[in-house]
Amino acid sequence: MITRIATHAILPAVAILDPVREYLLLGLRFDRLIEGFVDAYTGDPVLRRQVDNEPRPDPAALARRAAQLRAELPAAGLPEPRARFLDAQLTALECSGRVLAGQQVGFVAEVAAYFDVVIEPGDPEIYRQVHAQIDRLLPGTDPLAERLAAYRTRDEIAPEWLEDAVQALSSALRDRVRARFGLPPEETVRYEVVTDKPWSGFNYYLGDFRSRVAINADLGHRMANLPHLVAHEAYPGHHTEHCRKEAGLVRTEHHAEQTIFLVNTPQCLMAEGLADLGLQAAVGPGWGPWAAEILGDLGLRMDGELAERLEAAAAGLLGVRQDAALMLHDQGVDSADVLAYLQRWLLVPEARARQMVRFLADPLWRAYTTTYVEGYRLLRTWLEARPLAQPLSLRYLRLLDEPLIPSVVRAELAQKGS
């Protein structure tokens, strides 16, 4: 939870001797204010102990320190990709410090500082067109929401089968990722089922090529969603990205800034976008029948072709959740009206919509929906704009290995279009 009580200032700022070390210390200090702000840290444990033994920091002082580090960064002599990455991260941290200090920051400006994107409301006419597509895929006379709910009920996986299904899909995806992208031979993922969380799944990267992936059983899970969930959290999503960056940027090139993963930064938008595109990168068209065959070996029946078509159509509704965030935090719309908006356009029951509102209202995660919406849109466009002769896997590999930020991806797209 956010702490805004009277605090002590951090140590006085000094001239940068090691900008990366100062960035790591700054990120770790934010974790003292909000538990979970550091999503993963696999760097020097001495820095963690140093921060743990300091007085609780003042968020306004953290904001000032981020601004100072950013101003001094050009003189640090880092190669351009590293300097760009740190500049974007420090911009986000400065904004986080200001917000945590109680300063007024408009929600759109806050999102722009965090994620290097500018957001705007979606077009309800597009959502109506998506509803028409779903209507054709699920013909009938009952209201569309009821037909979709009936399909989703048929597609639900019994809790006792969840772990086996996840393991089977994980094993199949792991084989593909090893062959297509490469993984350290010692990498492992351990799955566990949890409850009472605002998310559906979460990757805890532990370092040394190990991850723990938690799956929230409260939401219920459908067979059509499980391939996406496993691809997102593990292969070739978050776990794969962490492993490849640790093996390459950290251990080989000594980019220590990649040993920390901070929430509400451009780093997250890139990570969530590549993870949401993981199934496309690892399997591609035909993932529905592919998954149905794997689950069929467990005695589970899934209509893979229909699932794939419905998921493709539903991608057009991605912006609805970002609309809801704008309604709550920018437009001041009552939460009951936001709940109704989510139910109407996403065709979900009230309980599912309430879970979404809970995520949007969480102090740490309230802006985070943008990472899924804009990350997916930006990186999907970038992957599709690759040179004709370039395999998608080679383009995707850049996302796994390089310290890219959204503005760099947009610049590459603009250059291709010019």
pLDDT tens profile 392-413: 999 999 999 999 999 999 999 9
Spatial distance between the Cα atoms of 313 and 243, rounded to a whole number of angstroms = 32
Catalogue the E-assigned strands of 355-402.
none
With 60 as the cut, is the pLDDT of residue 13 above it? no
User: Average of pLDDT values for 19-46?
Assistant: 97
Tell me how far apart the alpha carbons of residues 171 and 126 are, in angstroms, rounded to a whole number. Answer: 37
Question: How confident is the model at residue 197, as a pLDDT?
Answer: 76
Question: Per-residue pLDDT tens for 335-388?
Answer: 999 999 999 999 999 998 998 999 899 888 999 999 999 999 999 999 999 999
Out of 131-140, 158-167, 334-343, least confident range: 158-167
pLDDT score recorded for residue 416: 77
Handedness of CA 5, 43, 115, 196 (dihedral sign): negative
Report whether 114 contacts 265 (CB < 8 A): yes
Report whether the peptide linkage leading into residue 143 is cis, meaning its omega lies within 30 degrees of zero.
Answer: no
Instruction: Compute the average pLDDT of residues 125-131.
Output: 98
- Torsion-angle region of 249 (φ positive above 0: left; ψ -120 to 50: alpha; else: beta): alpha
Contact yes or no for 266/92 (Cβ under 8 A) = yes
pLDDT at 134 over 80: yes
Going by their DSSP bridges, the two strands 201-207 and 210-216 should be labelled as antiparallel
Helix (H, G, I), strand (E, B) or coil at 206: strand
Residue in the block written with tokens 């929230």: 216
For 315-340, the three-class secondary structure string (H helix, E strand, C coil) is: HHHCHHHHHHHHHHHCCCCCHHHHHH
Segment 20-33 mean pLDDT: 98
pLDDT higher than threshold 90 for residue 283: yes
Give CA–CA dist 52/340, Å, rounded: 43
Where is pLDDT greater, at 9 or 57?
57
In this prediction the pTM is 0.93
Distance CA 13, CA 61 (A): 10
Residue 287's pLDDT band (boundaries 50, 70, 90)?
A: very high
SS3 203: strand
List of residues 6+ apart from 378 with CB closer than 8 A? 117, 269, 273, 406, 409, 410
